[in-house]
Amino acid sequence: MLQCPDLRAFPDRSFDLVLNMDGAISFCGSRAIDAINEACRLTARKLILTVSHRACMIPVFIGSSISDAGKLLPAVQSMFNNGQWHQDEFPSNAELTKRNTGGRFAPLKAFLPGDLKAVLEQAGMRVLRVGGLGSLAYLCGADVVRKAAANADVWNEFLNLCDRFDAEILPDGPGTQDRAGLIAVAEPI
């Protein structure tokens, strides 16, 4: 099982930039907020983090539940209600992990944009951005993304549209099909 890193050796505001990409927070499960608070404590100027987006994880859990067990397992409701997964939370959770992870899956915490913003603000941060990341690429599908990537001009234009889509059209969108679909940028107040 993954352990959250112990960063107490570093004094407050030790780093100008703290970059924390998904797993270090999301896989802390019920301790994810502690991990975010620790990242905030260490930030002197700018914090950039990505976490699992609940809007994306709910369909993943529904799909796995129906595919692996043929029914909606209690873990789906847990992810829907509070964005949490723990291997031992329900006896049926083992059914969700057999095929994909060899029978064990780390604790997981997925956030909604408003939840993440509130955690950061409670930790004394000014939130500059919080929202979906990669939603347009997710909604267009892998085939379209591969075709766009094959042409540098199309790719650059597509990436610009992705940034605009996340900021202007669907800021709280589902994010990517993978876990890290929610980004936050913040600075200490």
For 3, which DSSP code? -
- Look up the pTM and report it: 0.85
Question: pLDDT at residue 85 above 50?
Answer: yes
Q: Which domains does the chain have, with CATH numbers?
A: 15-131+178-189 (3.40.50.150)
pLDDT value at position 174?
A: 81
Mean pLDDT of the chain: 89
Place of tokens 């234009």: 157
CA 105 – CA 16 distance, rounded (Å): 33
pLDDT value at position 1?
A: 45
pLDDT value at position 91?
A: 87
Angle of CA points 18, 19, 22, to nearest 5°: 135
Question: And the tokens for 167?
Answer: 């900021």
Q: Identify the weakest region by mean pLDDT among 41-55, 96-110, 132-146.
A: 96-110
Q: What is the dihedral of CA 81, 85, 88, 90, to 10 degrees?
A: 30
CA 149 – CA 142 distance, rounded (Å): 10
40-65 pLDDT, tens per residue?
999 999 999 999 999 888 888 898 88
